Chains A and B, each alone.
Chain A
C-alpha cells in the first residue's frame, strides 16, 4: 500500500488515486535489515555450519593475514608504493571471493587485493597497481576481476552494467561489488544501487564498514540507522552482518548471490568490521582513534573466532594448525622473493595503450622519448651530451 492509498488519510477525498504507473514498486519481501548484525559464531546456529567450510575459511583467513603482513612489510622496504591493509577485515575479503562461481565477477576497491587473491589471482599481479609498475597487472576478463579501483564507489555502476549486460546476453553471471563505509556517501554508490534495483540486475553490494574513511568516523559519514538501511529506499533488501564472523558472512553473501542468480535482483550487505591497521602506511591512525578501541576489536578477531569454533569441534590439531601456517609462510615467501625482483618496464608502453592505434601526435612523442632514451644511454656511455630533441616544422619556405 502506498502512502497515497492509505485509508483514513486526511486527503482521501481530495486527491484522485494516482495512475498505477506512478506507484512505487512495493516488494512483498521485507527489505529492512535486522537491528543487530547477523552472527553464527558463538551462537547455537553455528552448529549448522559445515566443518569443511570452516576449515576452508580458516585456511584463507590465515593466509590472508600473512599476506597483509607481508605486503605491509614490502612498503617498508620500498617495494610497494603504498598498501592499504585489510588486516582485521580478512573475513569480508575471503567470503566475498569464495561465494562466487567461476563465471561471476568481482569489483574490488584498492583495499580489496586480498579478495582478488582469494579468488585465485596471482598475488604479484594483484599488487601491480600498488607497486607502481602499471595500473592493472592482470587481464580482467581472464580472471573476471575488474581493475582495482581507487576513486571511491566508481566501480559500483560498472558492476551493475556488467551484470545487466550478462543478463541481457542470457549468461548466468553475478557481480560482487565491494565498497567501504566512506564510499557509501558517494553519488556513484546511490546511482549504482538505484540502477541495480530498477534493472533488477544480479549484483551484490558488500559494504565493508570498518568504522573510518581514512580518519573520518562513521558518525560523521552517515546519519542512517545502519548503512544496510540505505537499501530500502532503492527497493532492495539490506542485510546487516558481523563482518568478522566468516561463516555468517559466507551464509549471508551466498544467499544474496543465489537471490541475484535466480533473478531476484540486487542485495545490499553491510559487514561491520574494523581496520586494525592504519588506512595505509602513509596514515597515522593514532591521531583519530585510541589504542583501547583497537585492542577491543583485536578481541573480536576474525581468525580467533573461527579458531575457537574449530577447537570446540576438535578440528584444530597442532598438525593442522602447523600445516595452515606453513602454507601461509610459503605464500609470503613466494611473494617476498618475487617482489624483490625489479619489474622489467618498457617506457614505450606509455604510448601503446592510449588508443587502439596511436595517433600521429603520440607517434611523434614516442619518437621523442626514444631519442631521449638513446641520448641517455649514450650519455651513460660517456658522451656527456644531454638528450636530443627532434625538431618539427622548422623548414623554411
Chain B
C-alpha cells in the first residue's frame, strides 16, 4: 500500500472516492492498466471517478477518446489483444448501447472463439440506475442485457468497501467485466480504509448484509440500502428479514442464495430494472428449481415497472421503495400464518 493509504486510516469515504482509489491503485500496481473514455482526462469523468488520474499517470494511461462508444470499446478490444488491461468508462447506462455490438460480438467471446488463446482482460465501467433525477437516457438499469450474454461477468457494488474491492477484482480478472456502478450510491459514505485486511473481494460471491429468519430479500446495487431500510421497518411488524447482496450477477452465487432461502423459506427479489425479462425472473426461477421443497410461498419480485424509464419527476413511482417491498413481503404469508412454520 502507498503512503497516502496508510495516512488515510479509516475515515468517511464516498463510493466515488473508493472507485477512484481502486483505479489509482490498479494503475500503480500494473502498468498494463489503461483508463479510457469520454471526459475521463482533465475533467476526471462526469462523476469524477477518474479525478486526478491523468495528472498522476499521464494522458497515455488515462486518456480522453473521441465520443463514440463502439469506438471506445472496439479500440479497447484491440488494446487488450496486445496485452493491455483497458478500463473503459461508458459515462451513462443508456450511452453504452452503441457499443453493444462490440460487447456482444467480440468482448464477450474473444476467449471462446480463440479456444482460450486470446482472453480479453477488459473492464467496462457503466454508471447505472435511477434516483438521481436524471433526464431521459440517464437512468436505465441495463443489467439484463449484459446477463443474457455468456462470456461477460456482471458485477455491481452496493457498499463503499465493495466499490473498491470489486473494482480491483474486476480489473485483475482475465475475463471481461461489466462493472455497473449504482449512480445514486456514488455519494453514499462509509468509514473505510483501503488498508483493511481484504480490500479485494472475490467476484461471484454474495454477501448477507443483514441476517434474518422470516424471509430473504435478494438484491444488489442501488436497491440494497432500500432493502436494508425495509428490513428495519419490517421489524415493527414482527418480521425478521434477511438481506442478501448478490454483488456479482455473473458469476451467480447459487450456493449463498439457496442456503439463505432454505433457511428462511421465503424470498423476494428486489431490483430497479423492469420485471419482465429482468434478472428477478431468472433469480426466482433458480431459487424455485433449487429450493422448491423449502419454500413456504412463491418467490416474489419487486422490480421497476415494465415501462421505458420514466421522466425524473415520476421516477419515485417506478423505483422499488420500502412500502412496495413491505407490501410484497406481506404477500409471502402464503396460506400459512406468518408467525408459524417460517424458517427451520
Cβ of B105: which chain A residues have Cβ within 8 Å of it?
Answer: 151, 154
A70 interface hit (Cβ, 8 Å) = no
> In the docked arrangement, what's the CA distance between A163 and B79, Å?
8
Cβ of B83: which chain A residues have Cβ within 8 Å of it?
Answer: 165, 169
Cβ of B102: which chain A residues have Cβ within 8 Å of it?
Answer: 154, 157, 188
> In the docked arrangement, what's the CA distance between A151 and B106, Å?
9
Shortest beta-carbon distance from B91 to chain A in Å: 16
> In the docked arrangement, what's the CA distance between A193 and B252, Å?
39
Cβ of A359: which chain B residues have Cβ within 8 Å of it?
Answer: 204, 250-252
> In the docked arrangement, what's the CA distance between A136 and B118, Å?
10
Contact of B111 among A146, A192, A355 (CB under 8 A): A355
> In the docked arrangement, what's the CA distance between A359 and B286, Å?
15
**Which of A236-244, A277-285, A286-294, A346-354 participates in binding chain B?**
A346-354
A141 interface hit (Cβ, 8 Å) = yes
The answer on a CB contact under 8 Å between B173 and A392 is no
A159 interface hit (Cβ, 8 Å) = yes
The answer on a CB contact under 8 Å between B289 and A392 is yes
B98 interface hit (Cβ, 8 Å) = yes
Cβ of A188: which chain B residues have Cβ within 8 Å of it?
Answer: 70-71, 74, 101-102
A158 interface hit (Cβ, 8 Å) = yes
Shortest beta-carbon distance from B58 to chain A in Å: 10
> In the docked arrangement, what's the CA distance between A99 and B334, Å?
73
The answer on a CB contact under 8 Å between B74 and A192 is yes
Cβ of A146: which chain B residues have Cβ within 8 Å of it?
Answer: 81
Cβ of B113: which chain A residues have Cβ within 8 Å of it?
Answer: 134-136, 147
Cβ of A194: which chain B residues have Cβ within 8 Å of it?
Answer: 66, 68, 71
B74, B101, B105, B252, most chain A CB atoms within 10 A = B74
Contact of A397 among B117, B153, B344 (CB under 8 A): B344
The answer on a CB contact under 8 Å between A165 and B111 is no
A182 interface hit (Cβ, 8 Å) = no
Q: A360 with B254: in contact, given A136-B114, A154-B105, A355-B175 (CB under 8 Å)?
A: yes
> In the docked arrangement, what's the CA distance between A392 and B101, Å?
35
> In the docked arrangement, what's the CA distance between A192 and B70, Å?
9
A139 interface hit (Cβ, 8 Å) = yes
> In the docked arrangement, what's the CA distance between A352 and B150, Å?
13
Which residues 117-140 in B have Cβ within 8 Å of A in the complex? 117-119
Give how many B residues have a beta carbon under 8 Å from the other chain's beta carbons.
Answer: 57
> In the docked arrangement, what's the CA distance between A157 and B248, Å?
29
Give how many A residues have a beta carbon under 8 Å from the other chain's beta carbons.
Answer: 49
> In the docked arrangement, what's the CA distance between A151 and B83, Å?
23
Cβ of A139: which chain B residues have Cβ within 8 Å of it?
Answer: 114, 117-118
The answer on a CB contact under 8 Å between B77 and A158 is yes
**Which of B42-50, B235-243, B290-298, B320-328 participates in binding chain A?**
B290-298
The answer on a CB contact under 8 Å between B82 and A156 is no
Cβ of B71: which chain A residues have Cβ within 8 Å of it?
Answer: 157, 188, 191-192, 194-195
Contact of A157 among B70, B109, B150 (CB under 8 A): B70
The answer on a CB contact under 8 Å between B84 and A356 is no
Shortest beta-carbon distance from A142 to chain B in Å: 8
B30 interface hit (Cβ, 8 Å) = no
The answer on a CB contact under 8 Å between A164 and B78 is yes
A202 interface hit (Cβ, 8 Å) = no
Q: Mark B84-119, 1 if CB is under 8 A from A, else 0.
A: 101000000000001001100110011111111111
Q: A353 with B115: in contact, given A154-B102, A359-B250, A393-B258 (CB under 8 Å)?
A: yes
The answer on a CB contact under 8 Å between B76 and A161 is yes
> In the docked arrangement, what's the CA distance between A135 and B114, Å?
7
Shortest beta-carbon distance from B249 to chain A in Å: 11
The answer on a CB contact under 8 Å between B78 and A361 is no
Q: List 21 A-B contacts (CB under 8 A).
A: A135-B112, A135-B113, A138-B117, A139-B114, A139-B118, A142-B117, A146-B81, A157-B74, A158-B75, A165-B81, A165-B83, A168-B60, A175-B78, A188-B70, A188-B74, A191-B66, A192-B71, A353-B114, A356-B173, A361-B254, A396-B293
A-B residue pairs, 3 tightest by C-beta? A161-B78, A157-B74, A191-B71
Interface residues of A (CB under 8 A from B): 134-136, 138-142, 146-147, 151, 154, 156-166, 168-169, 173, 175, 187-188, 191-192, 194-195, 198, 349, 352-356, 359-361, 392-397
